[in-house]
Amino acid sequence: MNEQQCALLEAQINKLESISTAPAILQPLLKMLRLPADDIRIESVVEMVSRDSAIAAQCLRMANSPLFGHRQVETVRAAVMALGIAKVRSLLFGLCMHQTIPKGKWVLDPNAFWRHSLGCALVTQTMARGIGYREPEKAYLAGLIHDIGFLVNSVLYPAKFRESFQHAVAEKCPLYVAEELILGFTHEDSGRLLCKRWGLPEELLAAAGCHHRLDVLPTAGPLVCLVHLSDLLCRVRNLGYGYDEVLAVALAHDPAWKHLLIAYPALAEVDLVRFTLDIEGSMDEIATLVDSVFASDRRAATPAS
């Protein structure tokens, strides 16, 4: 994407009322995202969750899911206490993202999109803990928002984005390849600009804006490398966007893996076969959780075929 295209896209994103301003709860949440978890008062989080009954219900479903410890909690306060502020902050952001798309604007199947996003969040966090990354909750959030640009493209360019999706389905190619061909840019470009608009930290901008194109960074940071690998693992294990891709994954030879090996030598001891099998074993559970969380707020969506 050249500078002129970037400027035009940024201007259009800034004018998008449904996304650039987003739900009312998102504004204080964005401020909270800039703070260390230790600086956030639990009362503020409980109050924020309680403002929206749908979000409160979804948060409780998350807290009671086996993926998050299988705790039996019945109140918002108990959910926040059980999950921890950092986790609730990330969950809230994901739930708010879901609400930024107006009804009828979805191009992708929303459940497929959230299965992939949540799956990538969980895999990114798992990998982060496995290599000793200092902020596993930030890794979770980075995985959760890495494809936020799809939401922008659905709202701004529904016809061309739908055409991109149709092309990807027909060719069984990565969706970002089809976007580049038809739109002239990808969800990485629009995602990075939206994250910038929302004032998110630089690491999250990189995760949203470079998770497919590590070569654009002089030195790929650990977080974007983790997201890149998690995205691949989810897509190759049928946790993608609802269509089959011809996708070959060789993690040991991936540039992101090599970057991580330099920063985290212990990664060389990871059994890749065992790791991918563990991920595969959690896929059904992730899909069930996403269906449960968003069942009460299904958005109108007719995926291209």
DSSP 192-232: HHHHHHTT--HHHHHHHHHSS-GGGSSS--HHHHHHHHHHH
CB distance 227 to 143 below 8 Å: yes
Q: What is the pLDDT of residues 98-129, one digit of tens each?
A: 666 766 778 998 888 888 888 888 888 888 88
Q: Which residues of the chain have pLDDT under 50?
A: 20-22, 296-305
In the prediction, which pLDDT does 162 show? 96
In sequence order, the β-bridge partners of residue 106 are 301
| Cα separation, 259 vs 226, whole angstroms | 10
Task: Identify the architecture of domain 3-19+100-297 in CATH.
Answer: Orthogonal Bundle (1.10)
| Cα separation, 18 vs 21, whole angstroms | 6
Question: Phi and psi (nearest 5°) for 190?
Answer: -70, -35
In the prediction, which pLDDT does 299 show? 40
CB distance 257 to 264 below 8 Å: no
Sign of the torsion formed by the C-alpha atoms of 238, 241, 247 and 248 = negative
In the prediction, which pLDDT does 153 show? 93
Residue 219 CB contacts under 8 Å (≥ 6 apart), including other chains: 259
Question: Phi and psi (nearest 5°) for 139?
Answer: -60, -40
List alpha helices for 70-109, DSSP H: 76-83, 85-99
- Two tokens, residue 128: 């982060």
Q: Where in the chain is the domain with CATH 1.10.3210.10?
A: 3-19+100-297
In the prediction, which pLDDT does 292 show? 66
pTM over 0.75: yes
Largest CA distance in the chain: 53
CB distance 106 to 301 below 8 Å: yes
In the prediction, which pLDDT does 300 show? 37
